[in-house]
Every structure is written in C-alpha cells, then in structure tokens.
C-alpha cells in the first residue's frame, strides 16, 4: 500500500474510522495514513478523541464504523493478541507490567508471548540462554542495564515506562503504539524516553498519542491533529505549528476548520 500524497508506503491506514458511545460521537469518520518507518504523533486538546483512536488501532475498543488496515490487511475486527501476532504492539497510560515479577521476568514473559513462543511456562523460557540474552539486550537498549533483578514495583515511574517499551519490543513489532508515554514524567525522564524512542530502528514505525508538545515536536516527523473527534490535519511539525486552524483548536477562540 502506497500513500500517494507522500510517495511512501503506508503501514497503517485508517478509513472513515468512527466510534460512538450512544449518541456521542467520540470519533467521527477519521481517515489518515502512517507511513512505514515514521515517527508519527497524534495531538489535540482534551476531548479530541485521541485515546479513543488509540483504542481502535490497538484493538482494545471495538469500531462502530470504518476500517483499520495494517500493511494492507483489514484488522478492524481482530482482537489484540491477533494484532500483536501481526506486529502491532502497544504501551498504555496505565501500566500493564507484572509488578511482583522482576524486570527481567517481565521481558522474558513477553518473549514467551511472541508467535511461536509456545506456552512452556516461566521455567522453560527462563532456561533458554537465547531468550535471556535477548531480554538483556532489550533492557540494555531501553536504558535499564542494572535493573534486571529488581521487581517492577521497585522502579521509578520513568523506569517503568522504559520497561514497558522493552516489553513491547520483545514482541518484534513493526508498529509500536505509545499512549501518553511521557505522562507523569519529570523533564529528565521525558528526555531519556525521547532519546530512547528516537534511537529505535527504522523498521519499527512509531505512532504515539502525547500531550507534551515539546516532546512531540522534537521527536515526530509527522503530526496528526484531532479536534472534537474529527481529523483536523496531518502534516509536518512545522506545518502543524504554523496552522491557524490548529492554533484555534488549542486556544478555543473559534471553531476549527475541518
């Protein structure tokens, strides 16, 4: 699938995607594409529909209407685990870590859940030298090389987010979805996370929902702006920053153009 507007292959395409809660249209016929290898951010004021959109792409919310296509395949109705098997991994605002388990065990358990990973249980996967080596490499990659044996509950908030990225990367994703990754972080923690995401290999496409606009404009090469459940614009960070419609949506001085 190729995004004709940019000449790049699209990994993810949303077609007229909608989610209604009764008569409330949380998301209303949203369409845009995410090119392969992009660092693509979704922004918008509160109530814009960002979290709803994230749920529809990750599979945690059912779609009311429209389609989600991943590498040309319709995944609209697929459950989360099937999407993970295709190469879609997500981290969420609320931690999904096993808090009593060690940092290393959290990554090993994610390696176990990969397609073909089997269901041999913790002892089996922990006994595999290749799995342990891969888990160590992932933890080194996300900046946790000295935290292997700590329980996840003992990590700082920022370190937990780093571990969540390692857990997501353990599934060998082609598309990494990040839901408010900088939420609750100190400036130093946000800087570390931004550097971590920027250093991910080009074959991992990143789609993130984020309120921290400094992080967005430092990291993203493409930005989609949501407003009142609708797609306002998708463009370069510079184009988004200079858009009068975007400024209006954030300032609330007038109804933004759609």
pLDDT at 16 over 80: yes
The tokens for 179 are 């839901």
**Predicted local confidence at residue 92, as pLDDT:** 79
Tell me what pLDDT residue 221 has.
96
Given this model, what pLDDT does residue 122 score? 52
pLDDT of residue 5: 44
Q: What is the pairing mode between strands 2-3 and 8-21? A: antiparallel
Whether pLDDT at 254 is above 80 = no
User: What is the pLDDT at residue 127?
Assistant: 56
| CA-closest candidate to residue 63, choices 50, 71, 52, 51 | 52
Q: Specify the pTM.
A: 0.87
Question: 184 pLDDT band (50/70/90 cuts)?
Answer: confident
Tokens of 230: 């609708």
The pLDDT-based confidence of 168 (bands split at 50, 70, 90) is very high
- The pLDDT of residue 171 is above 50: yes
Instruction: Give the per-residue pLDDT at 128.
Output: 78
Cβ count near 19 (within 10 Å): 22
Give the lowest-confidence range in 1-10, 118-127, 182-191, 237-246.
118-127
Question: CA 176 to CA 57: how far, in whole Å?
Answer: 11
Mean pLDDT, range 177-191, rounded to an integer: 90
pLDDT class for 20, splitting at 50, 70, 90? very high
- Which domains does the chain show, CATH number per domain? 1-87+173-258 (3.40.50.300), 99-172 (no CATH)
The string of pLDDT tens digits covering residues 108-166 is 998 877 655 544 455 455 557 888 999 999 999 999 988 899 999 999 988 998 999 99
Handedness of CA 68, 73, 77, 81 (dihedral sign): negative
**Residue 28 token pair:** 């209303």
Instruction: State pLDDT tens for residues 64-120.
Output: 999 999 999 999 999 998 999 999 999 876 777 899 999 999 999 988 776 555 444
In tens, the pLDDT along 243-253 reads: 999 999 887 74
Could you tell me if 96 and 161 are in contact, meaning their C-beta atoms sit under 8 angstroms apart?
Answer: no
pLDDT tens-digit map of 201-242: 999 999 999 989 999 999 999 999 999 999 999 999 999 999
6-14 average pLDDT score: 81
């Amino acid at each position: 699938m190729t995004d004709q507007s940019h000449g790049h292959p699209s990994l993810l395409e949303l077609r007229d995607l909608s989610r209604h809660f009764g008569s409330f249209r949380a998301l209303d016929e949203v369409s845009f594409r995410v090119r392969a290898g992009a660092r693509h951010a979704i922004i918008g004021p509160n109530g814009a529909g960002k979290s709803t959109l994230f749920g529809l792409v990750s599979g945690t919310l059912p779609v009311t209407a429209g389609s989600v296509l991943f590498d040309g395949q319709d995944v609209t109705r697929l459950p989360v685990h099937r999407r993970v098997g295709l190469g879609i991994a997500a981290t969420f605002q609320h931690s999904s870590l096993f808090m009593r388990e060690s940092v290393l065990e959290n990554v090993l358990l994610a390696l176990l859940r990969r397609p073909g990973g089997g269901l041999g249980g913790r002892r089996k996967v922990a006994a595999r030298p290749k799995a342990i080596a891969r888990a160590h490499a992932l933890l080194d990659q996300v900046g946790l090389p000295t935290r292997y044996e700590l329980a996840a509950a003992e990590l700082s908030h920022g370190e937990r987010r780093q571990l969540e990225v390692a857990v997501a990367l353990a599934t060998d994703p082609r598309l990494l979805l990040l839901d408010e990754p900088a939420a609750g972080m100190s400036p130093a923690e946000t800087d570390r996370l931004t550097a971590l995401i920027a250093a991910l290999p080009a074959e991992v496409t990143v789609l993130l929902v984020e309120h921290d606009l400094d992080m967005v404009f430092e990291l993203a090469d493409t930005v989609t702006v949501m407003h009142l459940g609708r797609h306002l614009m998708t463009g370069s960070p510079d184009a988004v920053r200079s858009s009068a419609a975007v400024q209006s949506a954030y300032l609330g001085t007038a109804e933004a153009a759609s």
